[in-house]
Amino acid sequence: MSLPLAIFLVALGGVLLGLFSIPVTKTPKWDFENIWFAGSMAALIIIPWPLVWLTVPDVGALYRQVPTSVLVGVILSGIAWGVGGIFWGRAISALGMALGVSLLMGLINVFGSIGPLAFFEPAKIASPGGLALCAALAVMLVGVVVIALAGRRKDEELRGTDAVSSSAIPFWLGLTFCLLSGILSAGVNFGFVFGSPLAAEAMKSGVPAFATSFAVWSLVFSANYLVNAIYALVVMIQRGTFRKLFSNGSPSYWLGAAFMGLAWPGGVIIYGIGAGGMGQYGAYAGFPMMILVSILAGNAAGALGGEWRGTSSRPRTLMLAGVAILFLAFGFLGYSNHLLSKN
């Protein structure tokens, strides 16, 4: 695979991951647990296992050929990602698409890029590439803080107006959800790195190069979406909102759930194909690229959806400044991975 094509696929995956949670803010007749349950079930059914069954001849035998610790690491990563997904949905519901996606993707980038490196190759942290990665991390945190301030000012300006979000979740609690989601959702990249022996074994078994990671994603996705679906089901039973799936739903709501089911895992799969095509450090270089595109896609969706309508230029300027800082961090990240690949 050529490098330009690999980068394009990473960016496309970022667009899908930046937009997949749009239905959370566009289903007012459903509660959060309704759309999250429907979207999680759609994601679990539509993508993971049909995809692996079509591309991996004997996936059971493939799983038996790798150490149990590899499978456990992949599944635990999926569970962590699943719990992070619950906090993700809550954060989006509280903060809106533009601010929520920016904060979440920024934090996931922090924990998902340096975390696997520190865990799997700790000696690299003290190398020039590792130090450059730490510098990029610091710049990324500055960008996240600026974006948070922009969201806070937007929230203050819209409070008491018709444009204010209907969410009853306080702003500070939404930020807490973002932090928890950012830490736990990094499990998706840990799963990709943990599962590299499984992908290598799939390659030996004659699985096409583009599909070698599918056996990894099937486990990660199953753990993730089952956690989310079970959580949402428990909440619906406790609150008596299960009936809303049928009484208050509309065809567009179910279409929204299907979109989540395709875009959520689809974005990760496409990112994985692109990152694999970028070479040895694709999981580190491709991840921040995907995150940046996700942030831009989420902000574009929020702006087009009118989330910033009625605000002054000050919060908008802050938001643009935060995005610019993230671009700067992206440059540092790319340079750090260049240095890492040379060591």
Model confidence pLDDT, tens digit, residues 288-340:
778 777 777 877 777 776 777 778 888 888 888 888 887 787 777 767 767 77
Cα distance between residue 84 and residue 99, in whole Å = 17
**Which residue range(s) make up the domain with 136?**
3-342
Nearest residue to 228 (alpha-carbon basis) of 20, 16, 34:
34
pLDDT at 113: 67
Q: How many CB atoms lie within 10 A of CB 173?
A: 15
Overall number of domains in the chain: 1
Q: How confident is the model at residue 162 (pLDDT cuts 50, 70, 90)?
A: very low
Contacts 24+ apart (CB under 8 A), 317-321: 318/146, 318/147, 318/149, 318/150, 318/153, 319/98, 319/99, 319/102, 319/147, 319/150, 319/151, 319/154, 321/146, 321/150
Residue with token string 């803010």:
25
One-letter amino acid for residue 119 of the chain: F
Model confidence pLDDT, tens digit, residues 234-254:
999 999 988 888 876 677 888
On average, the pLDDT of the chain sits at 79
255 has a pLDDT exceeding 70: yes
User: Which pTM does this prediction carry?
Assistant: 0.68
pLDDT at 75: 92
